[in-house]
């Protein structure tokens, strides 16, 4: 292997021959990881599909108890965080350290706002006795039992999504620290790129969750 | 483990000393050995459970252990063998060690993730061991709901968590292999020059990456259901226990191919090397691996023929299951065709390859029986099914694993194993295996249900034969453990290429240096090109 003078700053690992090969490998690795994530959430979406097709009326009625306004606002917050993430990656490409940090902080704040709102919504469900279990209460034909299925899936899926958000927040904080230490430059910003992909993926999961959980029975009301 | 190679050459084994240099290693070869120790440990744990099961079944009256204990024994035998031995077996040990060597790479694409995946297996294993020591688990390795979620009073949560964590080990190994095959091949190593071992591992990695996450989320839902009783699989609240079976088998049927595909990859190497011939129909064998991986995701419903699945769904799944026979048969026929007019030598790895081909064929053909709706109703949950999948998992996967271990042992350690003892053990294992499991086909067909320890007296003769076979099998498995360790000190020095094989792994030293090759090789020929002399396969430069 011919070692080149800029190799050190690119953090080229010994198993690779070139910085390009290393970046390609990271990128493919991240995409494969995201495919595993699709399959992971896919199992939950499959369960949702099965139960919604068995109990369409119940799912509609249960879905109507969710707060669409707050959900829509939260969706907007998350979409904005994806935008600031893109700007952070762009700043990385240009090697502008201060901009990277600013956009990472913005992304982090928007992510935290989303989680805060989500926590508020969960608390609302708690107050309304919509948490599955012995204290669950919902009036209407078949709702006392079967609506628990909807809320089980609601909490499981939004909970798993929130956990992914928390992991994302951890990754953003780590990126902030690394940027502050001056690790990234226009020649090497792969980690920002990769975390960006992850963040967008978590965003996309929500884009599917929002209509499936909040909007399935809003027509004609 | 210190090497005593004649000259004081630096190898991956002596490049660092002490426990820390092993536990923090990023070298795929050392991580392969860490896996080897780990899964050998779990193999013997699972073997202890198997021994107790077979001892219990010597008598029809269930007088060794209680029914509750028996339930735990077969559950823990299954859990340990499937999730902590068979799934990681060939990919994580031989695959980890040889995949980079075979494609001329210095390491896998992500060495740190590779180490992380070993730690995940160990952590998952510790959960499982905790569950076993604390009192065991009795749901069967399949964790069917609602028993696992509502009724079982055993350590379901700890065991499921262990499997969940170990699953991520498998996912990360698969991810690493996919990226490595795509991005790390040396100059000249095109897709169709790759050894079939690599193709098989690529197909396996696809299953690991696509299937395992579904098991993970299913276990999450089971854990939620068990801890909070929120109804996901609970019929009382409108949930559907059969949904669990669908999700579980969506992973767990392809998981069988995670076990058998790498073994098929090993057999392709062995048959070619010891016939001195290129594999007949390389492209067909390569793509049959991918075909098995893809078809494997479309057949899970054949585990639900008697679970209340619709008859139409059953027919579709039955039909699709037959399709798996096509790529499987392609492999068997092509190996056989490779033997034709080959200069066959009967070294130990080749004996395992022969054993594999025969036993896999029996396992595969009985697979057609159980894929048939009518016959399956008769043999569901009987010893016929038990025998069928042991022919695939033990007769297939473990035969391939042991064959590969013997074949590459000289490369891993730099020493030869004792050929005479090794041949004897291959023979003992083959005989012991058939004596253990062939009577189980008969038992099952006659109506002996699986997972029972009290049975009618007329089944005793066949059970005694099976237990006798298991004793022989146990001896066969202990022998390699002993002579492999013996060979570390007393085995003959192997040299680079004791089998005169063509793969890149044989072009470097035994044991290999830390970065595998002193200079990255350039490949100019097809795999398995035995037409010239070995030295011309690869031009180093």
Answer for the pair B350, B270: CB distance below 8 angstroms, yes or no: yes
Angle between helices B28-56 and B399-413 (to 10 degrees): 140
Q: Is B204 on the interface with A (CB under 8 A)?
A: no
pLDDT at position B230: 84
Q: What is the DSSP letter of A45?
A: H
pLDDT tens figures, B504-519:
999 999 999 999 999 9
Q: Which residue of A has its CA nearest to B217?
A: A40
In a domain, A14, yes or no: no
ipTM score for this prediction: 0.92
Q: Is A31 on the interface with B (CB under 8 A)?
A: no
Residue A2's pLDDT band (cuts 50, 70, 90): very low
Measured between beta carbons, which residues in chain B are less than 8 angstroms from residue A2? Answer: none
Structurally, how many domains does chain A consist of? 1
pLDDT at position A8: 40
Q: What is the DSSP letter of B296?
A: G
Distance from CA of A137 to the nearest CA of B (A): 13
Structurally, how many domains does chain B consist of? 1
Helix (H) or strand (E) holding A28: helix A19-54
Q: Please, what sign has the CA dihedral across residues B158, B159, B164, B169?
A: positive
pLDDT tens figures, B311-360:
999 999 999 999 999 999 999 999 999 999 999 999 999 999 999 999 99
For the cut 80, the answer to whether the pLDDT of residue B93 exceeds it is yes
Distance from CA of B443 to the nearest CA of A (A): 37
The residue range of the domain holding A58 is: 19-214
In a domain, A3, yes or no: no
Q: What is the full DSSP assignment across B248-308?
A: HHHHHHHHHHHHHHHHHHHHHHHHHHTTTSPPTTHHHHHHHHHHHHHHGGG-GGGG-TTTT
In a domain, B330, yes or no: yes
In a domain, B6, yes or no: no
In a domain, B8, yes or no: no
Residue A221's pLDDT band (cuts 50, 70, 90): low
User: A78 to each of A40, A111, A118, A201, B159, how far by Cα in Å?
Assistant: 21, 7, 11, 11, 36
pLDDT at position B216: 97
Measured between beta carbons, which residues in chain A are less than 8 angstroms from residue B105? Answer: 15
Q: DSSP 3-state assignment of A172? A: helix
The percentage of chain B sitting over the pLDDT mark of 70, rounded to a whole number, equals 97
Q: Is A152 on the interface with B (CB under 8 A)?
A: yes
Q: Which long-range contacts (CB under 8 A, 24 or more apart) does B22-29 make?
A: B24/B115, B25/B115, B26/B107, B26/B111, B26/B112, B26/B114, B26/B115, B27/B107, B27/B111, B27/B514, B28/B96, B28/B97, B28/B99, B28/B100, B28/B107, B28/B108, B28/B111, B28/B114, B29/B96, B29/B97, B29/B412, B29/B511, B29/B512, B29/B516
In a domain, A6, yes or no: no
Helix (H) or strand (E) holding B466: helix B460-490
Q: Nearest 5 degrees, angle CA B160-CA B162-CA B163? A: 65
User: A82 to each of A41, A178, A191, how far by Cα in Å?
Assistant: 20, 20, 16
CB contact under 8 A, B247 and A33: no
The token pair at A18 is: 């070139």
Q: DSSP 3-state assignment of B456? A: coil
Neighbours of B416 (CB within 10 A): 19
The residue range of the domain holding B236 is: 19-540
Q: How many residues does chain A have?
A: 221
Which residues does residue B493 pair with via DSSP β-bridges, in sequence order?
B415
Distance from CA of A1 to the nearest CA of B (A): 8
Q: Is B105 on the interface with A (CB under 8 A)?
A: yes
The token pair at B43 is: 């193999």
CB contact under 8 A, A15 and B229: no
In a domain, B5, yes or no: no
Of the partner residues B106, B236, B237, the one whose CB lies closest to the CB of residue A15: B106
Q: DSSP 3-state assignment of A65? A: coil
Q: Please, what sign has the CA dihedral across residues B30, B34, B37, B43?
A: negative
Q: What is the full DSSP assignment across B399-435?
A: HHHHHHHHHHHHHHHSB---HHHHHHHHHHHHHHHHH
Instruction: Tell me the CATH number at B503.
Output: 1.20.210.10
pLDDT at position B5: 46
The whole-angstrom separation of Cα A42 and Cα B209 is 13
Of the partner residues B214, B217, B237, the one whose CB lies closest to the CB of residue A146: B237
CB contact under 8 A, A41 and B217: yes
For range B18-41, the mean pLDDT? 96
Instruction: Tell me the CATH number at A87.
Output: 1.20.120.80
In a domain, B12, yes or no: no
Answer for the pair B267, B403: CB distance below 8 angstroms, yes or no: yes
pLDDT at position A14: 87
The whole-angstrom separation of Cα B455 and Cα B439 is 15
- pTM (two decimals): 0.94
Answer for the pair A111, A81: CB distance below 8 angstroms, yes or no: yes
Answer for the pair B160, B223: CB distance below 8 angstroms, yes or no: yes
For the cut 50, the answer to whether the pLDDT of residue B292 exceeds it is yes
In a domain, B13, yes or no: no
Q: DSSP 3-state assignment of B56? A: helix
CB contact under 8 A, B179 and A21: no
Q: DSSP 3-state assignment of B454? A: strand
Measured between beta carbons, which residues in chain B are less than 8 angstroms from residue A40? Answer: 213-214, 216-217
């Amino acid at each position: 292997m011919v070692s080149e003078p800029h190799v050190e700053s690119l953090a080229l690992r010994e198993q690779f021959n070139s910085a390009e090969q290393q970046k390609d490998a990271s990128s493919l690795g991240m995409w494969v990881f995201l495919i595993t994530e699709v399959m992971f959430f896919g199992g939950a979406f499959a369960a949702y599909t099965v139960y919604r097709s068995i109990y369409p009326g119940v799912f509609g009625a249960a879905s109507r108890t969710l707060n669409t306004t707050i959900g829509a606002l939260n969706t907007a917050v998350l979409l904005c965080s994806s935008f600031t993430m893109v700007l952070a990656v762009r700043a990385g490409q240009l090697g502008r350290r201060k901009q990277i940090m600013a956009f990472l902080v913005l992304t982090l704040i928007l992510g935290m706002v989303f989680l805060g709102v989500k926590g508020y919504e969960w608390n609302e469900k708690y107050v309304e006795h919509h948490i599955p279990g012995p204290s669950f209460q919902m009036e209407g034909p078949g709702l006392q039992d079967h609506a628990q299925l909807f809320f089980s899936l609601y909490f499981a899926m939004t909970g798993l999504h929130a956990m992914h958000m928390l992991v994302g927040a951890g990754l953003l904080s780590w990126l902030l620290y690394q940027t502050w230490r001056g690790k990234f430059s226009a020649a090497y910003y792969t980690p920002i790129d990769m975390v960006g992909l992850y963040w967008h993926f978590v965003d996309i999961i929500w884009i599917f969750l929002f209509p499936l959980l909040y909007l399935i029975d809003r027509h004609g009301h | 483990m210190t090497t005593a190679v004649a000259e004081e050459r630096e190898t991956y084994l002596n490049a660092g000393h002490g426990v820390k240099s092993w536990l923090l290693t990023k070298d795929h070869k050392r991580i392969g050995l860490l896996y080897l120790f780990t899964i050998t440990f779990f193999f013997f744990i699972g073997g202890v459970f198997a021994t107790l099961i077979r001892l219990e079944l010597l008598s029809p009256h269930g007088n060794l252990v209680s029914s509750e204990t028996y339930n735990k024994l077969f559950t823990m035998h299954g859990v340990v063998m499937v999730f902590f031995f068979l799934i990681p077996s060939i990919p994580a040990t031989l695959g980890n060690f040889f995949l980079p060597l075979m494609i001329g790479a210095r390491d896998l694409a992500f060495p740190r993730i590779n180490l992380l995946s070993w730690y995940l297996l160990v952590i998952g294993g510790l959960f499982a061991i905790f569950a076993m020591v604390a009192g065991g688990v009795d749901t069967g390795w399949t964790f069917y709901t609602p028993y696992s979620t509502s009724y079982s009073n055993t350590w379901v949560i700890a065991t499921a968590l262990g499997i969940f964590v170990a699953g991520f080990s498998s996912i990360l190994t698969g991810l690493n292999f996919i990226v490595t095959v795509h991005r790390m091949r040396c100059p000249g190593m095109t897709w169709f020059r790759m050894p079939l071992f690599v193709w098989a591992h690529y197909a396996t990695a696809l299953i690991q990456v696509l299937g395992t996450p579904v098991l993970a989320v299913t276990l999450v839902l089971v854990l939620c259901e068990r801890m909070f009783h929120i109804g996901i699989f609970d019929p009382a609240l409108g949930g559907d226990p059969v949904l669990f079976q669908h999700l579980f088998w969506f992973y767990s049927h392809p998981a069988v191919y995670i076990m058998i595909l790498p073994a098929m990859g090993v057999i392709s190497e062995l048959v070619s090397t010891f016939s001195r011939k290129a594999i007949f129909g390389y492209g067909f064998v390569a793509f049959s691996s991918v075909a098995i991986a893809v078809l494997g995701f479309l057949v899970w419903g054949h585990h639900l023929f008697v679970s209340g699945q619709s008859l139409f769904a059953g027919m579709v799944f039955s039909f699709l299951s037959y399709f798996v026979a096509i790529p499987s048969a392609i492999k068997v026929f092509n190996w056989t065709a490779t033997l034709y007019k080959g200069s066959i030598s009967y070294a130990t790895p080749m004996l395992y390859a022969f054993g594999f081909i025969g036993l896999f064929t029996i396992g595969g053909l009985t697979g057609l029986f159980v894929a048939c709706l009518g016959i399956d109703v008769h043999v569901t949950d009987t010893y016929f099914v038990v025998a069928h999948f042991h022919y695939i998992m033990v007769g297939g996967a473990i035969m391939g694993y042991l064959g590969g271990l013997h074949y590459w042992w000289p490369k891993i350690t730099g020493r030869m194993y004792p050929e005479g003892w090794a041949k004897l053990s291959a023979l003992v294992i083959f005989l012991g295996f058939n004596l253990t499991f062939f009577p189980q086909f008969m038992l099952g067909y006659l109506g002996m249900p699986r997972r029972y320890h009290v049975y009618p007296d007329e089944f005793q003769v066949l059970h005694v034969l099976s237990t006798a076979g298991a004793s022989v099998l146990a001896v066969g498995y202990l022998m390699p453990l002993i002579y492999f360790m013996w060979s570390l000190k007393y085995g003959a020095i192997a040299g680079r290429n004791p089998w005169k094989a063509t793969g890149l792994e044989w072009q470097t030293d035994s044991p290999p240096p830390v970065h595998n090759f002193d200079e990255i090789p350039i490949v100019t020929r097809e795999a398995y090109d035995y037409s010239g002399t070995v030295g011309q396969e690869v031009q180093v430069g």
